[in-house]
Structure 1
Amino acid sequence: MDTLRIYIGWDSREDIAFQVAKQSLEKHASIPVEVIAIKLPDLVDQGLYTREVDPLASTEFTYSRFLVPHLAGYTGWAVFVDCDFLFFGDVAELQEYMDPKYAVRCVHHDYRPKETTKMDGVPQSAYPRKNWSSFMLFNCAHPSTRQLTPEVVNRESGAYLHRMQWAQDDEIGELPTGWNWLEGHYAKPETGYPQAVHHTRGGPWFKEWQSVDYAAEWLAEAAEYEAKVKTG
């Protein structure tokens, strides 16, 4: 693999979350990576995204994440990840999970959120395979993945997309829990760090969420990013 394409969801309300996810991912990567922001206004301008606004959608990339195989030209492998991640692991490790028999690989959470609202007041909902789609390793050339055309992504329900009904169950491979470690749900490892911490309840970019696990590490990463911006 020459370069691993990483698509990170971008939300206009949480740019700093995107920047920290991107910086921490690139910092730990030992292979070339290309990080691409999934920006809804750009996809709308290109005519790739035509869905009506969904009041229940918690982010601007709730549905557009499923355009990744199309954006990648239905070739090779690509990663989608939410913006509320902090990376400690090397994405080069994902290469060992690139088995062509799978359409997609992800952490198979059994997740039932305790909170009734998300970090910015959006109602929290529970559904099968919740959070599976927040970190996906796509086999973009797989026949099932190729079904994710812009027409399908714009037409189909959230349940169809997020529950990965576009693939057969045996085509949805697993990734180790550390690649989508849900803060507040999983116990912290006794030593070391998860590969990727997901602040799905609320992240340290909100003042009321600065006591969550790995908040200090996130804030340090954010300070490093902001210092780089100031110095040009």
Structure 2
Amino acid sequence: MTSANGNASQVTNNGDVRKPFKIFIGYDPREDQAYEVCRHSILKRTSIPVEITPIVQSDLRAKGLYWRSRDQFESTEFSFTRFLTPYLANYDGWAMFVDCDFLYLADIKELTELINDKYAVMCVHHDYFPKEKTKMDGAVQTVYPRKNWSSMVLYNCGHPKNKGLTPEVVNNQTGAFLHRFQWLDDNEIGSVPCVWNFLEGHNEVVENDPKTFPKAIHYTRGGPWFEAWKTCEFADLWLKEMQEYMKKKSNVS
């Protein structure tokens, strides 16, 4: 768990200026470096207090919170554990879940300012149908409705519907039920601009249109930490951030 002290006058969690904004990042041992760079990119730019926690499947299993068997369509260890976010946040306030293969280019404060309490969750409503058959390090590229909606979600953790996301539900419900937000009505799913979950290889930057410039790049097909994706779009930005993180880590040690 990491805290970064920012401007304490900003409201980040249910109107309580004393609470840091909770961020849960999906963790997979194969993408440890991606997790560290994602975390670094958030902390580097935030102007509000944040609390970052990795969602580590082995830890959840040890605590008896996660026990479902892994199936062939799970490309990461957090394919389903992500939906424990409201539980892990004690069903209190707003919290964010994000995949580890993100690079933040803007202050997370800007994202929290989009929060609207009338919604149970808020996310980018992608219309994404990947062409590739595989991704990352050869994982199967699955196609399903609302793909990538669950890769970055703002959760209204105290919402009555989200209190139904118990460990029992997360461990037993289908992938369709969870990834398509079927525990919610459509009008309870708020929308966030796509620049906050900008899909590398899918979304495009329009020249001279700042509204299309990414605030958070999602290397959903695979990032430059994988050999097969070292030359993907925006690889240079991730590599620069990685070098900065490594230098900071070296100076601390």
Common fold: TM-score over 0.5: yes
1:123 partnered with 2:143: no
Opposite residue 212 of structure 1, the aligned amino acid is C
Q: CA deviation at 1:189?
A: 4.2
TM-score (structure 1 length as normaliser): 0.97
**CA offsets, 1:188-229, max 9 Å, x none?**
243564110000011011232122221111001111112223
1:204 partnered with 2:233: no
3-state secondary structure, aligned to 1:208: helix
**CA offsets, 1:88-120, max 9 Å, x none?**
011111222221210000000000001011111
- The answer to whether the 8 Å contact 2:136/2:222 transfers is yes
User: Structure 2 CA distance, aligned partners of 1:216 and 1:96?
Assistant: 29
3-state secondary structure, aligned to 2:203: coil
User: Structure 2 CA distance, aligned partners of 1:94 and 1:145?
Assistant: 20
Aligned pairs for 1:50-89 (under 5 A) are 50-89=67-106
User: Structure 2 CA distance, aligned partners of 1:189 and 1:73?
Assistant: 41
1:223 partnered with 2:228: no
Partner of 1:180: 197
Q: CA deviation at 1:31?
A: 0.4
**CA offsets, 1:148-204, max 9 Å, x none?**
011100110011000000111100000000010000001124356411000001101
Aligned-CA RMSD value: 1.1
3-state secondary structure, aligned to 1:113: coil
Partner of 2:177: 160
3-state secondary structure, aligned to 1:97: coil
User: Structure 2 CA distance, aligned partners of 1:108 and 1:96?
Assistant: 18
1:144 partnered with 2:161: yes
TM-score (structure 2 length as normaliser): 0.89
User: Structure 1 CA distance, aligned partners of 2:28 and 2:205?
Assistant: 28
Partner of 2:6: none
Partner of 1:43: 60
Identity across aligned pairs (percent)? 54
User: Structure 2 CA distance, aligned partners of 1:145 and 1:19?
Assistant: 28
Q: Which has the higher contact order (CA 8 A, sep 6+)?
A: 1
**CA offsets, 1:44-85, max 9 Å, x none?**
011000111222200000000000000000010000000000
3-state secondary structure, aligned to 1:78: strand
User: Structure 2 CA distance, aligned partners of 1:69 and 1:169?
Assistant: 19
Partner of 1:213: 233
Aligned residue pair count: 232
User: Structure 2 CA distance, aligned partners of 1:91 and 1:227?
Assistant: 23
1:134 partnered with 2:151: yes
Opposite residue 194 of structure 2, the aligned amino acid is T
1:3 partnered with 2:20: yes
- The answer to whether the 8 Å contact 2:73/2:142 transfers is no
Question: Which of 93, 96, 109 is equivalent to 2:113?
Answer: 96
Partner of 2:40: 23
The unaligned stretches of length 5 or more in structure 2 are 1-11, 13-18
Opposite residue 148 of structure 2, the aligned amino acid is N
3-state secondary structure, aligned to 1:114: coil
